[in-house]
């Protein structure tokens, strides 16, 4: 209620007026109906902010909604969260339910299943992220025998490819990658200009890339 109406009062005394006769007579003919009835009426009440309607819908349909969520998730706590999400969404945006499109029960069940499936997908994505994280940060998890074999095979392939390089290129690669020298230090150690060291490294890396890619394709 707006504050401005708080002071409303009428001067007309209680004895002053009565209801119009035709109205009083007609009012006595008001049909009394159960209000839990049609889904369209429930939807209209929800949109009007009638929280009793929400409680009625919950009491009628929440067990089925919970059952649907539990069937997908197999986890009571997660299913309860789904039930809460579904009913909060219905209350917050009642217009998203269209009575002409189907029953409220069907609408809520579909919402529950979608949300439950979303929860499962989200959990799967979380597990996959965790797996990738472990793979990218070795040391947090001890390598498996499979990981060790794969790494040894890769190292062996790289060394074999390096051995196949021309001497001038193999020398700069060994200094840079196995010796840990910078380009300037490689140039000094090899007795060549720095620009020459860089170009030999570029040529060597391009050649290694080609050889290793071919090996990878052949092995797969």
Rounded CA-CA distance 138/124 in Å is 22
- Residue 126 Cβ vs other proteins, minimum distance, rounded to whole Å: 22
Site for other proteins (CB under 8 A): which residue of 51, 98, 118, 213?
Answer: 51
Nearest to 39 by CA among 100, 84, 114: 100
Residues 46 and 57 sit within 8 Å (Cβ to Cβ): yes
Residues 6+ apart with CB under 8 A from 20: none
Choice from 56, 83, 192, 196 touching other proteins (CB under 8 A): 83
- Nearer Cβ to other proteins (76/179): 76
- Of 111, 115, 117, 74, the closest CA to residue 96 belongs to 111
Under the criterion CB under 8 A, does residue 100 sit at the interface with other proteins? no
Least distance (Å) between residue 86 CB and other proteins: 9
Residues 53/54/57/58 CA torsion (nearest 10 deg) = -140
Q: Give which of 71, 72, 38, 73 is closest to 57, Cα–Cα.
A: 38
Residue of the chain from 39, 64, 122, 217 that contacts other proteins (CB under 8 A): 64
Minimum Å distance from CB 133 to other proteins?
31
Examine residue 163 and tell whether it contacts other proteins (CB under 8 A): no
Rounded to the nearest whole angstrom, what is the least distance from the CB of residue 144 to other proteins in the complex? Answer: 34
Q: Select from 33, 146, 163, 180 the one that contacts other proteins (CB under 8 A).
A: 33
Terminal-to-terminal C-alpha distance of the chain: 73
CB atoms within 10 A of CB 121: 10
Name the minimum Å distance from CB 145 to other proteins: 37
Give, as ranges, the residues between 103 and 132 that touch other proteins (CB under 8 A): 109, 113
Comparison of 12 and 167: residue with beta carbon closer to other proteins:
12
Q: Is 177 in the site for other proteins (CB under 8 A)?
A: no
């Amino acid at each position: 209620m707006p504050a401005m109406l708080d002071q409303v009062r009428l001067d007309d005394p209680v004895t002053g007026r009565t209801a119009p006769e035709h109205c009083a007579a007609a009012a006595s003919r008001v049909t009394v109906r159960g209000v839990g009835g049609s889904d369209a009426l429930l939807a209209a009440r929800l949109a009007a902010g009638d929280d009793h309607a929400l409680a009625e819908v919950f009491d009628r349909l929440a067990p089925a909604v919970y059952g649907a969520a539990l069937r997908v998730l197999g986890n009571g706590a997660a299913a309860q969260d789904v039930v809460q999400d579904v009913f909060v969404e219905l209350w917050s945006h009642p217009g998203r339910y269209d009575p002409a499109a189907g029953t409220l029960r069907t609408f809520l069940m579909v919402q529950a299943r979608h949300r439950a499936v979303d929860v499962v997908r989200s959990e799967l994505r979380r597990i996959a992220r965790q797996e990738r994280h472990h793979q990218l940060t070795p040391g947090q998890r001890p390598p498996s025998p499979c990981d060790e074999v794969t790494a040894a095979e890769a190292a062996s392939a790289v060394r074999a490819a390096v051995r196949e390089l021309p001497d001038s290129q193999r020398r700069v690669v060994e200094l840079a990658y196995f010796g840990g020298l910078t380009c300037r230090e490689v140039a000094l150690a090899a007795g060549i200009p720095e620009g020459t060291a860089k170009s030999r490294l570029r040529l060597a890396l391009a050649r290694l890339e080609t050889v290793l890619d071919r090996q990878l394709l052949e092995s797969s």
